[in-house]
Amino acid sequence: MNEKEVLKAYQLSIRYLAPRARSVHEMRLYLEKKGFSQEVIDNTVIKLEKENLLNDKEFAAMFVEQRERFKPKSKFAIGYELRQKGIGVDTIESCVMDVDEYASAFSAIKNKIKLWDSYDDDKFKSKVMNYLKNRGFSYEVSISTFNELLSERYKF
């Protein structure tokens, strides 16, 4: 193992982490794509973990928080995204445990309501239900959100 190669891998990793946090899996894939040996990748990942620059639990918690704030999705959809990033099932379950799907659904749809305000009830329902379905929300959550929106629509 060449010290120069280890240093290069570390420096590339730091640059890769600059825009946003990454999972260990994402970092491994990145370094593999850059052509580093498995030994160099392992050493780099260990060093980044020791320096707390790579931490899957913190990454997952931050990912869920960011998803909730900027692009709300269902627990299932968030879990799927985290699995794609190589996060373990136990970590995912602990991170999405506190997600309120009803609040997330309402938050996801609130910016679209004004766009669809002029639609009749059937078309409005179709838009709401499809939008929430595409974000991974269950029928139960979607219909509950629609009913709440409908009742607010006809409040006097």
**How does pLDDT run across 90-107, given as a tens digit for each residue?**
999 999 999 999 999 999
Residues 91 and 105 in one domain: no
pLDDT tens profile 40-50:
999 999 999 99
Hey, what are 15's tokens? 């640059």
Residue 103, phi-psi category: left (phi > 0), alpha (psi -120 to 50), beta (remainder): alpha
pLDDT score, position 117: 84
Please indicate, yes or no, whether residues 16 and 38 belong to a single structural domain of this protein.
yes
The helix (run of H) or strand (run of E) holding residue 127 is helix 121-134
SS3 54: coil
Residues 110 and 140 reside in one and the same domain = yes
C-alpha to C-alpha distance for 82 and 84, rounded to whole angstroms: 5
What is the pTM for the complete model shown? 0.84
Range of the domain at 136: 101-153
Residue 73, CA distances (Å) to 15, 77, 79, 124, 132 in order: 29, 6, 10, 20, 8
Task: Identify the pLDDT of residue 6.
Answer: 87
Indicate the number of domains in the chain. 3
- Give the model confidence (pLDDT) of 30-74 as tens digits: 999 999 999 999 999 999 999 999 999 999 999 999 999 999 999
